[in-house]
A and B are shown apart, each in its own frame.
Chain A
Amino acid sequence: MRTGPVLLVEDSEDDEILTLRALKDARVGNSVTIARDGQEAIDYLSKTDNDLPAVVLLDLNLPKVSGLEVLAWIRSQPRTRLVPVVCLTSSTEQRDLLAGYESGCNSYICKPVEFTEFSHVIAQLGMYWLLVNEAPPS
Chain B
Amino acid sequence: MIWLGAALVAVLAVMAVASLVYLHHQAVESGEDLTESLAQVVEEQTARTLQSVDLRLQSLVVEYQRLSEANQVDQQATQALLRRALADLPFARGVFIMNAQGQVVVDSGLGNAGGDGSDRDYFRMYREQSKAGLWIGPAIVGRKSGQPVFPAVRPIYSANNTFEGVAVAALAPGYFDRVWRNVPIGEGGVIALFRKDGTLIVRSPPLKESVADKNVGEDGLFKEDIARSATGTFMQTSAIDGVHRFIAYRTVTTQPDLVVIVGRSYEVAMQEWTRFAWLAVSIFVIASVATVLLSLSLQRTWNLKHEAEMQQRQLADRLSVATDAAAIGVWDWNIATGDWFATPTYFTMLGYDPEAGRKHHEDWLNRVHPDERQAIAATVDQVFAGQSDTYEFEPRMRHSDGSYRWVNLMGFVLGRDKSRRPTRIVGVKIDITDRKTYEIALHETNQSLLNLNETLEQRVQRRTSELRAAMRELDSFSYAVAHDLRAPLRGIHGFSSMLEESLGENVPADAANALSRIKRAAGRMGELIDDLLRLSRISRSEMVVEKCDIAAMARTIAEDLAQRDSSRRVEFVIPDRLDVMADRQLVRVLLENLIGNAWKFTSKQQEARIEVGEDVREGVRVCYVRDNGAGFDMAYAAKLFEPFQRLHSVGEFPGSGIGLATVARIVSRHGGRIEGVGAVGRGATFYFTLSPPRSKS
Contact A113–B495 (Cβ < 8 Å): no
Task: Verify if B108 is at the interface (C-beta below 8 Å from A).
Answer: no
CB proximity of A133 to chain B, nearest CB, Å: 26
* Interface flag for A15 (CB, 8 Å): yes
Cβ of A77 to closest chain B Cβ, rounded Å: 27
Interface string of A1-30 (1 = CB under 8 A from B): 000000000001011011001000000000
B residues at A contact (CB < 8 Å) = 478-479, 482-484, 486-491, 493-498, 519, 522-523, 525-526, 530, 533, 537
Pairs of residues from A and B, 10 with the lowest C-beta to C-beta distance, nearest first:
A113-B526, A14-B491, A115-B497, A18-B494, A115-B494, A90-B486, A90-B483, A113-B489, A91-B482, A61-B483
Q: Chain A's nearest CB lies how many Å from the CB of B359?
A: 91
Q: Is the CB of B482 within 8 A of A90?
A: yes
Please state if B482 and A92 are interface contacts (CB–CB under 8 Å). Answer: yes
User: Inside 8 A of A113's CB, which chain B residues have their CB?
Assistant: 486, 489-490, 493, 522-523, 525-526
B479 touches A21 (CB 8 A): no
Are B498's CB and A115's CB within 8 A? Answer: yes
* A93, B478: Cβ atoms closer than 8 Å: yes
Chain B contacts for A112, CB-based, 8 A: 490, 526
Beyond the given pairs A114-B523, A115-B490, A115-B498, 4 more chain A to chain B contacts, judged by CB atoms under 8 angstroms and listed by A's residue number, are A61-B483, A90-B487, A92-B482, A113-B490
Within the assembled complex, what's the spacing in Å between the Cα atoms of A116 and B501? Answer: 11
Q: Let me know if B498 and A21 touch, CB within 8 A.
A: yes
Jot down 21 A-B pairs with beta carbons below 8 A, ordered by A.
A12-B491, A14-B487, A14-B490, A14-B494, A15-B491, A18-B491, A18-B494, A90-B483, A91-B479, A92-B533, A93-B482, A112-B526, A113-B489, A114-B493, A114-B519, A114-B522, A114-B523, A114-B526, A115-B496, A118-B493, A118-B494
Set of chain B residues within 8 Å of A91, measured between Cβ atoms: 479, 482-483
Residues of B within 8 A of A89 (CB): 483
Contact indicator B479/A15 (Cβ below 8 Å): no
- Inter-chain CA distance A14–B523, complex, in Å, is 17
Q: Which residues of B contact A116 (CB under 8 A)?
A: 497
Give Cα A61–Cα B484 distance, bound, in whole angstroms.
9
Residues of B with C-beta under 8 A to A115: 490, 493-494, 496-498, 519
Chain B residues contacting A21 (CB-CB under 8 Å) are 494, 498
Contact B490 A111 (CB under 8 A): yes
| Complex CA distance for A90 and B487, rounded to whole angstroms | 7
For B541, the closest partner residue in chain A by CB is A94
Q: A113-B526, A118-B494 are in contact. Are A12 and B487 (CB under 8 A)?
A: yes
CB of B443, distance to nearest CB on chain A (Å): 52
CB-CB < 8 A to B487: which residues of A?
A: 12, 14-15, 90
From the candidates A15, A92, A94, name the one contacting B490 in the complex (CB within 8 A): A15
* Smallest CB separation, B531 vs chain A (Å): 12
A96 to B437, CA, bound (A): 64
User: Which of the listed residues B490, B498, B525, B530 has the most CB atoms from chain A within 10 Å of its own CB?
Assistant: B490
The CA-CA distance from A17 to B483 in the complex, in Å, is 18
Interface residues of A in 83-98 (CB under 8 A from B): 89-94
Give Cα A12–Cα B522 distance, bound, in whole angstroms.
Answer: 18
The docked-state distance in angstroms from the alpha carbon of A61 to that of B497 is 25
